[in-house]
């Protein structure tokens, strides 16, 4: 249900050794074309596919166009090409270049070339929304045709992309038309946004997923917060990107929210008391700007840079089975952050991934036991 | 305050080093240190984890590489997070959760490296903190007090360190002061049963001063001796002579720790000269600049020539990085903002150093150390005769010829 995040083919801060310490790592990892497109020649010469190249030969791989963490500049989609940004600058891709790159990568799934810019601007014109759907369908048909002709891509699955901005009519058209094509799944693009637009977009989301076949996975990009994830699951989404734990890590924070919707009464009391205190503190110190992740801190986490953790010898989260919580204390993480040591990112990433993957495990359990409402209520109480 | 030394008191001092083998030609020895947190095979290279962390690698990764002793730094830890907090965390071992041995430097070297922030008097070193401008006095007593709180297995005396490029009366002053400070450290040491206090031989590049220091300090009953004040800006020619002079006069049955030495060639030569322990930031620091250590030197992996090089850094290396990743992938990763690139190289470089020491030790035990040296130099320089002059001379001085 979730994709493990990579940056340039590697989990952020983590080597396979430290990644393997994490429990419940998803079977499928996300790669981004924005970090790999410029290395297309090397991969083509390598011949054995990106999975082996990055040292993850056993993992299932999904290749998205963009990096969910770094937004790319708008205005670079044309009728013939889409651009991504790597370290070396802009890489412009026509359908044939895009497919050539995918041929070198040989991922298990890949997002089809698409026009995602209808959702970028504040108010989308109907005309722009229509164009995003038309272009994306044209790209899809061309990519499917090229895939048929490519031996190397026979085992890869193309994920069709649902576009259409905020225009209901266009969204429905996109869904219906894309569903007619032989795609392996659907990416719901452009549904992310601030709390203002979220309500409208969630409504849009329900209508869209209603048009999609039940037996193919629905992915959504740029939605990763626990509360938003649950809203999307209720509206028919299956797969999510895991960039939220990465953003939390980059701002020196640790996920602490509870997802245990059937705890014993004693635990509830202890946790509630803890959560209350932390929520109070969070309201006072909400805005944290870090390089590259200009996001506000949420109430799902604690900020280890705060002085109060200097002498706190508890683990990040009591009862957490991650390497960091099993071996280290809040005081130690605080020290590493204050002294700008690299290990801070490593340990926080290990905890935040494990905590987040644990959350998804609880979602699956809740769905199985028909208790999603309880889980949702628990998360809602902890959202700011 | 010279401690009177009688033969009996010296003989009854605990010996933490057991000699396993000695090279019949050179002064190389293989041994085993018996330390509170477990045995350590020597010769040993000790990676430097200045602020209670081995940079980006976890304690588990370091343990898996076979590291059994590493360094922390009193000056840094004394400022952040401070000895009181570390004591509350059950010492430095508890704070960073390192199950094996730790050696802490006294803070003396920072006198040289942070000289603009420090002032030396007989009392101690007065430092101005770079973080909050506050002044602290690091005296021999205070240094030992902090190290007692840190609980490291080996602690170092506070020495009066001058850069090896300094000449004149300051060198002599520092040498004699280091002896006086050694005695103050010995007197202040609260935990001689749990922590081993090492002396540090000073004297700069002056043979006479070194000899004097050696004569005096070896009268003190300490578990081990370090050779300090070298591996600064001095010429290699002067460097090796001071090392050789020191090992000639240090007791056979106590460990010799050569501080700040980490280049592969230097390690091999100084083992031949009779040193047992080494530390250096070089391997871990150079890793973070994208440089991987190999038997032929190093690979600057950010360079374009590695773009399509699908081999591992070293096909003979058993480290996790070489088992899984290619130079080409590391090249890509090094040009991204993912810190994992640095960690891969840190793991490899530490593995390289530890594997080197392991190979050196095996050759001493198996009585083929001179051959090992010849082969090592051949690999590193293309031909044993192309080895740098200073190294050739140093090895010759202890009976190893390279031709």
Report pLDDT for A123: 63
Report pLDDT for A374: 94
User: Which band of pLDDT confidence, cut at 50, 70 and 90, is reported for residue A289?
Assistant: very low
B-chain residues within 8 Å CB-CB of A15? 61, 320-321, 340, 343-344, 347
Vertex A297 angle, CA A295 and A303, to 5°: 130
Report pLDDT for B390: 97
Query: Mean pLDDT, chain A, as a whole number?
Result: 90
| % of chain A beyond a pLDDT of 70 | 90
**Are B320 and A17 an interchain contact pair (Cβ–Cβ within 8 Å)?**
yes
Sort residue A302 into left (φ over 0), alpha (ψ -120 to 50) or beta: beta
Vertex B359 angle, CA B49 and B340, to 5°: 40
Closest listed residue to residue A344, CA positions, set A357, A356, A329, A359: A329
**Are B64 and A35 an interchain contact pair (Cβ–Cβ within 8 Å)?**
no
- With tokens 């360190």, the residue in question is B161
This complex has an ipTM of 0.94
- Burial of residue A29, with CB atoms counted within 10 A of its CB: 0-12 exposed, 13-18 middle, 19 or more buried: buried
In the set B105, B153, B160, B183, the catalytic residue is B105
User: CB–CB of B348/B292 below 8 Å?
Assistant: yes
Report pLDDT for B118: 82
User: CB–CB of B210/B245 below 8 Å?
Assistant: yes
**Are B58 and A313 an interchain contact pair (Cβ–Cβ within 8 Å)?**
no
**Are A311 and B85 an interchain contact pair (Cβ–Cβ within 8 Å)?**
yes
Nearest CA in chain A to B85: A311
Nearest CA in chain A to B95: A332
Please indicate if the annotation marks B109 as binding a ligand: yes
Report pLDDT for B171: 95
Which stretches within B13-100 are classed as H helix? 59-64, 74-79, 83-88, 91-96
Nearest CA in chain B to A335: B81
CA A139 to chain centre: 24
User: CB–CB of B8/B354 below 8 Å?
Assistant: no
Query: Dihedral, CA atoms, A201, A207, A208, A214, nearest 10 degrees?
Result: 130
pTM value > 0.90: yes
**Are A339 and B326 an interchain contact pair (Cβ–Cβ within 8 Å)?**
no
User: Distance between CA atoms of B317 and B294, rounded to whole angstroms?
Assistant: 9
User: CB–CB of B116/B110 below 8 Å?
Assistant: no
Backbone angles phi and psi of A45, in degrees to 5:
-70, -35
3-state secondary structure of B125: strand
Q: pLDDT (tens digit, 9 = 90+) per residue, A202-260? A: 999 999 999 999 999 999 999 999 999 999 999 999 999 999 999 999 999 999 999 99
User: Distance between CA atoms of A353 and A253, rounded to whole angstroms?
Assistant: 12
To the nearest 10 degrees (0 to 180), the angle between helices A372-382 and A226-234 is 150
Which stretches within B299-339 are classed as H helix? 320-324, 327-334
**Are A10 and B308 an interchain contact pair (Cβ–Cβ within 8 Å)?**
no
Q: Tell me, yes or no, if B105 is annotated catalytic.
A: yes
Q: How far is A7 from chain B (nearest CA, A)?
A: 6
Give me the DSSP letters along A315-333.
-SSTT--SHHHHH--HHHH
Backbone angles phi and psi of A269, in degrees to 5:
-60, -50
Q: Which two tokens stand for residue A350?
A: 């290990």
User: Distance between CA atoms of A307 and A317, rounded to whole angstroms?
Assistant: 18
Q: Which strand (E) or helix (H) includes residue A265? A: helix A265-284
Cα dihedral A53, A54, A55, A58 sign: negative
Backbone angles phi and psi of B310, in degrees to 5:
-90, 10
Backbone angles phi and psi of B267, in degrees to 5:
-60, -50
Give me the DSSP letters along B68-81.
-EEEEEHHHHHHTT
- Burial of residue A116, with CB atoms counted within 10 A of its CB: 0-12 exposed, 13-18 middle, 19 or more buried: buried
Cα dihedral B11, B17, B22, B28 sign: negative
Report pLDDT for A234: 95
Q: Which strand (E) or helix (H) includes residue B138? A: strand B135-138
Give me the DSSP letters along A218-258.
EEESS--SHHHHHHHHHTT--EEE--HHHHHHHTTEEE---
Q: Tell me, yes or no, if B221 is annotated catalytic.
A: no
Vertex B274 angle, CA B272 and B278, to 5°: 95
Locate the DSSP E strands across B185-300: 196-201, 224-227, 256-258, 277-280, 291-294, 297-300
CA A123 to chain centre: 25
Closest listed residue to residue B89, CA positions, set B136, B52, B47, B48: B52
| % of chain A beyond a pLDDT of 90 | 80
In the set B183, B266, B279, B314, the catalytic residue is B279
Residues 6+ apart with CB under 8 A from B141: B184, B185, B188
Q: pLDDT (tens digit, 9 = 90+) per residue, A140-165? A: 999 999 999 999 999 999 999 999 99
User: Which band of pLDDT confidence, cut at 50, 70 and 90, is reported for residue A186?
Assistant: very high
Q: Pairing mode, if any, of strands A253-255 and A301-303?
A: antiparallel
To the nearest 10 degrees (0 to 180), the angle between helices B264-272 and B340-365 is 20
Report pLDDT for A272: 53
Nearest CA in chain B to A342: B56
3-state secondary structure of B300: strand
Which neighbouring-strand residues pair with B373?
none
Q: Which two tokens stand for residue B177?
A: 């002061």
Report pLDDT for B10: 44
> Cis peptide leading into B81, omega within 30 of 0?
yes
- Mean per-residue pLDDT, A61-83: 90
Please indicate if the annotation marks B31 as binding a ligand: no
User: Distance between CA atoms of B199 and A20, rounded to whole angstroms?
Assistant: 43
User: Which band of pLDDT confidence, cut at 50, 70 and 90, is reported for residue A74?
Assistant: confident
Residues 6+ apart with CB under 8 A from A8: A35, A36, B332, B333, B336, B337, B338
B-chain residues within 8 Å CB-CB of A347? 58
**Are B332 and A9 an interchain contact pair (Cβ–Cβ within 8 Å)?**
yes
Q: pLDDT (tens digit, 9 = 90+) per residue, A311-349? A: 999 999 999 999 999 999 999 999 999 999 999 999 999
User: CB–CB of A171/A139 below 8 Å?
Assistant: no
**Are A343 and B95 an interchain contact pair (Cβ–Cβ within 8 Å)?**
no
Report pLDDT for A276: 44
Report pLDDT for B110: 76
B-chain residues within 8 Å CB-CB of A335? 51-52, 80-81, 95
Report pLDDT for B197: 98
* Identity of the residue in B308, B339, B341 whose CB atom sits nearest the CB atom of A42: B308
User: Distance between CA atoms of B311 and A344, rounded to whole angstroms?
Assistant: 31
For chain B, which ranges sit under pLDDT 50? 1-11
Report pLDDT for A275: 45
Residues 6+ apart with CB under 8 A from B191: B148, B151
Please indicate if the annotation marks B229 as binding a ligand: yes
- Mean per-residue pLDDT, A122-147: 92
User: Distance between CA atoms of A291 and A269, rounded to whole angstroms?
Assistant: 37
User: Distance between CA atoms of A168 and A211, rounded to whole angstroms?
Assistant: 12
CB pairs under 8 A between A and B: 122
Annotated binding site of A: 320, 322, 325, 351
**Strongest mean pLDDT among A5-9, A184-188, B76-80:** A184-188
- Burial of residue A114, with CB atoms counted within 10 A of its CB: 0-12 exposed, 13-18 middle, 19 or more buried: buried
């Amino acid at each position: 249900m979730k994709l493990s995040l990579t940056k340039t083919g590697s989990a952020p801060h983590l080597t396979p050794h430290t990644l393997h310490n994490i429990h419940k790592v998803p079977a499928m990892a996300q790669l981004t074309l924005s970090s790999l497109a410029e290395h297309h020649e090397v991969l083509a010469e390598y011949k054995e596919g990106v999975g082996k190249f990055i040292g993850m030969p056993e993992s299932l791989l999904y290749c998205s166009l963009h990096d969910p963490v770094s937004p790319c500049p708008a205005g670079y989609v044309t009728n013939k090409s889409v651009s991504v940004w790597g370290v070396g600058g802009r890489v412009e891709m026509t359908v044939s270049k895009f497919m050539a790159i995918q041929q070198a990568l040989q991922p298990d799934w890949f997002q089809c070339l698409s026009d995602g810019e209808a959702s970028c601007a504040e108010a989308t014109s109907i005309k722009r929304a229509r164009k995003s759907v038309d272009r994306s369908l044209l790209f899809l048909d061309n990519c499917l045709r090229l895939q048929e002709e490519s031996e190397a891509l026979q085992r890869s699955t193309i994920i069709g992309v649902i576009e259409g901005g905020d225009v209901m009519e266009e969204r429905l058209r996109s869904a219906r038309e894309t569903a007619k094509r032989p795609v392996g799944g659907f990416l719901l693009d452009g549904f992310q946004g601030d709390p203002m637009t979220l309500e409208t977009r969630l409504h849009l989301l329900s209508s869209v997923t209603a048009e999609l076949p039940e037996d193919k996975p629905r992915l959504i990009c740029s939605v990763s917060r626990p509360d938003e994830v649950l809203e999307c699951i209720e509206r028919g989404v299956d797969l999510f990107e895991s960039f939220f734990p990465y953003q939390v890590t980059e701002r020196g924070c640790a996920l602490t929210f509870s997802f245990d919707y059937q705890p014993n009464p004693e635990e509830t009391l202890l946790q509630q008391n803890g959560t209350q205190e932390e929520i109070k503190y969070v309201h006072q110190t909400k805005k944290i700007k870090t390089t590259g992740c200009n996001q506000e801190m949420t109430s799902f986490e604690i900020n280890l840079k705060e002085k109060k953790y200097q002498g706190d010898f508890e683990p990040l989260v009591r009862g957490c089975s991650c390497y960091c919580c099993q071996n280290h204390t809040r005081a130690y993480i605080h020290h590493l952050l204050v002294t700008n040591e690299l290990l801070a990112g490593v340990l926080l990433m290990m905890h935040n991934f494990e905590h987040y993957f644990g959350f998804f495990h609880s979602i699956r359990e809740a769905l199985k036991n028909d208790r999603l409402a309880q889980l949702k209520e628990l998360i809602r109480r902890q959202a700011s | 305050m010279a401690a009177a030394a009688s033969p009996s008191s010296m003989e009854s001092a605990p010996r933490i080093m057991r000699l396993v083998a000695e090279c019949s030609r050179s002064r190389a020895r293989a041994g085993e240190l018996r330390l509170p947190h477990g045995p350590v095979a020597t010769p040993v290279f000790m990676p430097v984890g200045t602020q209670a962390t081995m940079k980006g690698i976890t304690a588990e990764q370091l343990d898996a590489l076979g590291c059994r002793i590493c360094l922390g730094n009193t000056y840094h830890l004394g400022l952040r997070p401070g000895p009181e907090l570390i004591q509350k965390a059950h010492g430095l071992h508890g704070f960073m959760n390192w199950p094996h041995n730790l050696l802490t430097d006294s803070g003396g070297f920072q006198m040289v490296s942070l000289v603009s922030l420090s002032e030396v008097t007989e009392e101690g070193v007065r430092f101005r903190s770079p973080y909050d401008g506050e002044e602290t006095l690091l005296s021999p007593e205070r240094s030992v007090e902090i190290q007692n709180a840190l609980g490291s297995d080996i602690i170092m005396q506070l020495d009066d360190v001058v850069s090896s490029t300094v000449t004149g009366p300051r060198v002599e002053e520092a040498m004699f002061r280091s002896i006086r400070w050694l005695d103050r450290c010995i007197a202040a040491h609260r935990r001689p049963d749990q922590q081993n206090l090492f002396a540090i031989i000073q004297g700069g590049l002056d043979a006479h001063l070194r000899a004097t220091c050696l004569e005096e300090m070896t009268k003190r009953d300490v578990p081990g001796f370090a050779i300090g004040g070298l591996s600064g800006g001095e010429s290699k020619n002067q460097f090796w002579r001071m090392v050789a002079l020191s090992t000639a006069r240090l007791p056979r049955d106590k460990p010799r720790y050569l501080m700040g030495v980490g280049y592969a060639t230097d390690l091999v030569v100084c083992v031949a000269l009779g040193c047992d322990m080494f530390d250096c930031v070089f391997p871990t620091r150079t890793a973070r600049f994208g440089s991987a250590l190999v038997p032929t030197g190093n690979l600057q992996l950010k360079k374009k020539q590695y773009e399509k090089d699908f081999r591992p850094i070293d096909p003979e290396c058993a480290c996790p990085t070489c088992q899984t990743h290619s130079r080409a992938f590391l090249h890509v990763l090094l040009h991204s903002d993912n810190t994992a690139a640095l960690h891969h190289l840190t793991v490899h470089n530490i593995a390289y150093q530890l594997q080197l020491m392991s190979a050196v030790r095996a050759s001493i035990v198996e009585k083929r150390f001179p051959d090992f040296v010849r082969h090592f130099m051949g690999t590193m320089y293309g031909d044993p005769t192309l080895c740098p002059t200073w190294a050739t001379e140093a090895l010759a001085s202890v009976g190893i010829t390279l031709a």
